[in-house]
Chain A
Amino acid sequence: MKPAAFDYYRPTTRREAIEQLVERGEDARIIAGGQSLMAVLNMRLSQPRVLIDISAVDELRYIERRDGYLAVGAATTQAELAEYAVLADEVPLLEQMLPWIGHFQTRNRGTVCGSIAHADPSAELPLCLATLGGEVVLETKRGKPRRVTGDDFFQGVLTTARRPHELITEVRFPLSKAGHRYRFQEVAMRHGDFAIVALAVDIGETEYRLGVGGVADRPVVRRIPRDVDLDDALNTLAWSLEAQDDIHASATYRRHLVREMGRRLMTEEIVQEETTDVRPAR
């Protein structure tokens, strides 16, 4: 379990990172926290010729509130986002969801944008981005940065709308809306495991936006008016996801969770269940 040989670059500016990416194109992989990529490299499921490590690009390490968004730069770790003091006010869904991502050790290295770039269908951050209707900002050498909504960005298992010469420089999570409530719930085998089903919901005055992770090949978001029969709507959603049996859970079980956990979450019968997350001592 040793990676194949690769060249390693560690740019310190955004411009440098993009230039290297444009120059090496499909031969290159961006690495930030390496929490998914290192395992893939070690198993030789990927053998890129070049790694461009953006973790030293300080100008991509930020959390900023602007234009109705919370913007998170590409070098920002999940732990840094979790420690952002007013996260619970600005993007409460993120605040609820972050403890479910892996473990504090992995969050210390794993980046917010890296998880979104990887597009694991069970990952929490893509689910939140899609549910909230956030955006991914992609930059390349020439032209204006491209902005892609979460819905369009996630295109299938590990597959996104990013083009080979584009660097994800930022993701933008919409700030919480007045009168809306946000809920997150997940079922995984153990704390920190890939979600069997993860649900995120934005409860508005007239509609729910419900996002489902862990079932289809990407996060799936449905807008459900508050006046429809919720059970019917959830059953339709559950069947539409084409759930599969795997070694940990059956398709029937996944549909059951979408229906039952979805209803309880949307009607707020359950609020955030305590996670068993272990946090570092301060």
Chain B
Amino acid sequence: MNSATLLHHQQPHSYVGKRQPRVEDEALLRGLGRYADDLAVPPGTLHAAVVRSPHAHARIQRVVIEAALQIPGVRGVLTGEDVKRWAAPFPVGVRQPMEHWCLAVDKVRYVGEPVAVIIAEDRYLAEDALDAVEIEYDVLGVSIDPEMATNDDASVLHEAVGSNVVNDRYFNYGDADTAFEQAAHRLSLKVRYPRSACTPIECYVVLGQYDPAEGGYDVMANFQGPYAIHSVMARALQVPANRLRLRTPPDSGGSFGIKQGVFPYVVMMGLAARKVGAPVKWVEDRLEHLQGASSATNRVTTIEAAFASDGRVSALRFDQLDDCGAYLRAPEPATTYRMHGNLTGAYDIHHLQVRNRIVMTNKMPTGLNRGFGGPQVYFALERLMQRIAVTLDLDPLDVIRRNLVPTEAFPYRCAAGALLDSGDYRRGIELGVEQGGLEELRQRRESARREGRHYGIGYTVAVEPSISNMGYITMAQMPEERRRAGPKNGAVSTATISVDPLGSVSVHVSSTPQGQGHRTVAAQVVADVLGISLESIRVDVELDTGKDAWSIASGNYSSRFAGAVAGAVHNAALKIRARLDAIAAQQWQVSVEDIRFGEGRIYTADGVHATSFQRLAGATHWAPGTLPEGETGGLRETAFWTPAELTAPDDDERINSSLCYGFIFDYCGVELDSLTGRVTIDRYVTLHDAGRMLNPQLVDGQVRGAFAQAVGAALYEAFHYNEDGSFASGTLADYLIPTTVEVPDPTILHMETPSPFTPLGAKGVGEGNNMSTPVCIANAVADALGDAVEPGAIELPLTPSKVRMLMGIEEPPRPEGVAEESAQASTGGGSKLSASDSVEIPASPQHVFESILDPDTLKAMIPGCHSLELTGDNTYRADVTVGVGMIRARFDARVELTELEPPHSLRLSGAGKSGMGDAAGAAKIRFSEIEGGKTRLDYDYEVTVGGKIASVGGRMLSSASKMLIGQIFSRLSQRLSGSTSKGSLWQRLRALTGKRGGDQ
């Protein structure tokens, strides 16, 4: 049914299509929201803290929990051993011998991976015990860069697979080889899309309970779906699905996809509850979230086009390398295949070749994230279209226009199988150009350039898929594997409506909204069908798998609400209405066609008969004996809806990966600051065709939200990993989310081409700007930078430093003598620091050398050394408090003196662990005699820092390490001379002697 047919008996008073304020807002704005962490917990609930790996890749040798269990208030510790006993690994989306458990059982494969769970009487006590769990790791080499991870000599995460590439698929549609041979032009572009995530205010919350009588788990979690993952959780817990009751809270503090990733913790806290025989609650903190929740998939794409001299593209090749992190966590590799059917974007391109590889690296596993697969595809495709225009010296918009799917072609079958349901792309472009003021923007560019300013305009067109086909994920399998496993397809949505004895209406949807306003729109839809006021309807969006109607496609993802869920609500309302129609028709002896619903009444078109909705609906409860034959009484209807168009992948590997495809046309003008390189968005225009808009106010809200997150992805946000796999974006001062002052107000334009495939003609609109905006901004920056810049160097996020470097910095040389005496530090901005320095010591090399071998001197050299115990030949165990300002940690360290060449050189090394992370350092020390019988001591050192301190303190690590190393040698000198020696170096180091603090 489309929009033309649904309204045949609708009243003039209509809620659908209106800018209706949200019914959710009052409670939220007054602080009355009921979020997961607010909900009452059962008496006796315990609290969990998760012990996490400080290493990116290591074998777990031993987990010792006895000391932790001795800490007052600690009730239990869940370890990998328990998990192996009670649970199973999560099912994986590709056929490979790789295991992912809710807690690491043999190896850790990313920093932040859960290794054990402390269960205590409160969270403070649980955290007190974190450091008391003693874990012995055998540290392994890491694979961080996705391309390097594919090399034969790369460190392999899952040994049984034998390679980090766990899936490699090739697709060929049409005849791309011939098209490439015959094309006048070919152009290839390699781009990298970084890791980022849409970051909600509310992190994960789980309350796990275990019922030993039934052997069942009952878990409340702010899980957002898809509920296909309920099966994944039930299998991991080794229970039938009806023994895993999963409930969600009434309100959400945001998700944008990432709350899908709570599922391993659902299993973990269920098992934790089982371990201690009490309910266990866990609230994820921000550091846990940033390092371990989930992220979008980073991708390396090589894209190539065959095209004619007018810019018309005949064929495309995609080579996509997707980095899913340490584990392929359900529903991955869905990121890779979500866009598969519509890889050709808004363009009419018949020939397509695709190679998709999935690679594992020592980074947090990826998962749902607003835009899911779209930003990565469009960044490659739309950057390439811009390059084609530049290469041919054409207007980019003309190149776009020439390639669009023609209006008369809808519904249009794309090369890889997407069935573009409806659209008028050419009209969209014209509307956007006119209403958004492109001409003015071009003039602004011209006048800016005349003044020597760096101004650029970028364009993007995109199709925004919504309502995912649950079958697209099976594209990772070979056709014969799919045949063996049986078809997977569709997207079942559900809605239940009941009318109670007093005639008020309750609606339940299994869409687990995360702030979008589903309650408002569902009420709008029901109010229109039943002719009642919005206020008389209550919409319940909590989902309880033990009681509510749900299916695998339930949940909040792929922008499925407006098209699929609101459609199911509509269908359920029509079922209610049909029953009331029949009751009224029988009572009044009129035809069903004459019955009208409106303003809370049910009446005949001729006005002869009328009654209140409440009275007629109430009769189903109060007077079932008066009802027509066949009417069973009671009034509750559930509608399930799945679209016929979402079929399983065919043998030619074509897949209609989504049901609806909205259209987006974006353009923007940006200016680059010549001093700072900062990108300022002068104007951003975004046109959307999302089919029929059910509530334009909410549509605008979705556009604004997606746009803000896209500005973050374009200019600010990236998860940064150091070469050793340590995580460097552990705070919101490192992972930078744009705030309201960084996000300009976009010009939002709409057109409506209803979808013929959804009950209300609506399409999804929640993710479009996440897909279109990052590349639109990148294209504008590319335009501003001009041709001199290597196209592949335009990488997100386009930070001031990166952009200014691309603009070119002609640096005058280092003046002679400057910083010659200083340490020459070289870092990659990471956790591995190396530098050199020197000191003069008023004693002979022989004396200095021997002193270092003396344990008392060694102890005195090490700042904060409480004890030093000889454990072997020149090997010690040390108890050391390391402090920089207010930051302080106690390390259990091993100190070693090796490579002894008296009195010329030796190597001093140390490695230790503490509650805030691990550190290792080594210094090669050379002794040379200088005038006056003194010693010049030169040292080259290298320091590696991992764990929490690397995640949150990266900004200061280099300076801090340098200071601490400097202290070692200044203390040596002080001990040997009893005073400080002269020299400018000492003036610097003078500061480092004696006691101080930096904290107040």
- A residues sitting closer than 8 Å to B (CB atoms) are 1-5, 26, 29-30, 32, 36-37, 39-40, 43-47, 74, 113-114, 117-119, 121-122, 155-164, 167-168, 187, 189-191, 193-194, 196, 216-217, 231-232, 235-236, 239-240, 242, 244-250, 252-253, 255-257, 259-261, 264, 270, 276, 278
Contact = CB atoms under 8 A, between A and B. Distances in A.
Given A45-B949, A162-B1000, A235 B809 contact: no
A52 B677 CA distance: 44
Contact of B955 (A44, A159, A194): A194
B804 A158 contact: no
A40 B887 contact: yes
A159 B963 contact: yes
Contact of A249 (B285, B799, B811): B799
A216 B958 CA distance: 10
Given A1-B285, A190-B716, A239 B818 contact: yes
B997 A164 contact: yes
A279 B367 CA distance: 38
Contacts of B805: 250, 252-253
Contact of A240 (B124, B800, B818, B916): B818
Contact of B999 (A30, A155, A255): A30
Which residue among B716, B801, B958 has the maximum number of chain A CB atoms within 10 Å of its CB?
B801
Given A4-B127, A39-B731, A242-B825, 14 more contacts: A1-B285, A1-B286, A1-B287, A29-B886, A36-B886, A44-B916, A45-B916, A162-B1000, A164-B997, A191-B739, A245-B828, A247-B728, A253-B805, A270-B675
Contacts of A113: 1000
Contacts of A231: 812
Contacts of B587: none
Given A37-B886, A46-B886, A242-B825, A160 B799 contact: no
A256 B819 contact: no
Interface of B: 123-124, 127-128, 285-287, 675-678, 716, 718, 720, 728-729, 731, 733-734, 736, 738-742, 799-801, 804-805, 809, 811-812, 814-815, 818-819, 822-823, 825, 827-829, 884-889, 915-916, 948-949, 952-956, 958-960, 962-963, 991-992, 995-1000
B801 A248 contact: yes
A46 B888 contact: yes
A92 to B, nearest CB: 23
Contact of A118 (B809, B828, B962, B999): B999
B825 A256 contact: no
B281 to A, nearest CB: 14
Contact of B996 (A47, A159, A255, A278): A159
A256 B673 CA distance: 13
A114 B991 CA distance: 21
Contacts of A276: 741-742
A225 B439 CA distance: 50
A33 to B, nearest CB: 10
Contacts of B741: 190-191, 276, 278
A3 B954 CA distance: 21
A248 B799 contact: yes
A158 B958 contact: no
A239 B819 contact: yes
A189 B916 contact: no
A43 B739 contact: no
A167 to B, nearest CB: 7
Contact of A122 (B127, B815, B955, B998): B955
Judged by DSSP, the binding face of B is loop
A193 B811 contact: no
Contact of A189 (B286, B800, B819, B953): B800
A250 B959 CA distance: 16
Nearest to B916: A45
A45 B888 contact: yes
Nearest to B956: A157
Contacts of A252: 805, 809, 811
Given A117-B999, A156-B992, A248-B801, A242 B819 contact: yes
A248 B720 CA distance: 10
23 contacts: A2-B127, A26-B997, A32-B1000, A43-B916, A43-B952, A45-B887, A45-B953, A117-B1000, A118-B1000, A155-B992, A159-B884, A159-B885, A159-B998, A160-B996, A162-B996, A164-B995, A187-B678, A189-B800, A190-B741, A194-B733, A239-B814, A244-B825, A247-B718
Contact of A117 (B740, B742, B998): B998
A156 B964 CA distance: 11
A36 B998 CA distance: 12
A189 B958 CA distance: 20
A157 B716 contact: no
Contact of A160 (B286, B959, B998): B998
B959 A156 contact: yes
Given A253-B801, A256-B804, A163 B995 contact: yes
Nearest to B815: A236
A159 B958 CA distance: 14
B720 A247 contact: yes
A74 to B, nearest CB: 8
Contacts of A74: 1000
A261 B675 CA distance: 7
A43 B914 CA distance: 13
A163 B991 CA distance: 12
A30 B886 CA distance: 10
B828 to A, nearest CB: 6
A261 B814 CA distance: 18
A247 B829 contact: yes
Contacts of B955: 122, 194, 246
Contacts of B991: 155-156, 159, 161
Contacts of B678: 187
A278 B739 CA distance: 11
Contacts of B800: 187, 189, 196, 249, 253
A79 B801 CA distance: 31
A3 B999 CA distance: 17
Please list the 5 inter-chain residue pairs (A to B) with the smallest Cβ-Cβ separation, ordered nearest first: A158-B885, A117-B1000, A249-B801, A217-B959, A155-B991
Contacts of A46: 886-888, 999
Given A45-B889, A45-B953, A187-B800, A264 B823 contact: no
Which residue among A190, A217, A235 has the maximum number of chain B CB atoms within 10 Å of its CB?
A190
Contacts of A217: 959, 962-963
Contacts of A232: 815
Contacts of A121: 956, 959
A278 B743 CA distance: 14
Which residue among A3, A43, A44, A231 has the maximum number of chain B CB atoms within 10 Å of its CB?
A43
B996 A161 contact: yes
A196 B678 CA distance: 12
B888 A253 contact: no
Contact of A157 (B825, B948, B960): B960
B811 A119 contact: no
Nearest to B819: A240
Contact of A5 (B124, B818, B887): B124
Contact of B742 (A160, A190, A256): A190
Contacts of B884: 157-159
B410 to A, nearest CB: 42
Contacts of A117: 998-1000
Contacts of A158: 884-887, 956, 960, 998-999
Contacts of A242: 819, 822-823, 825
Which residue among B123, B809, B999 has the maximum number of chain A CB atoms within 10 Å of its CB?
B999
Contact of B1000 (A5, A114, A190, A249): A114
A45 B947 CA distance: 12
Contacts of B958: 244
Which residue among B825, B949, B998 has the maximum number of chain A CB atoms within 10 Å of its CB?
B998
Contacts of A40: 886-887
A202 B550 CA distance: 68
Nearest to B729: A247
Contacts of B729: 247
A264 B675 CA distance: 10
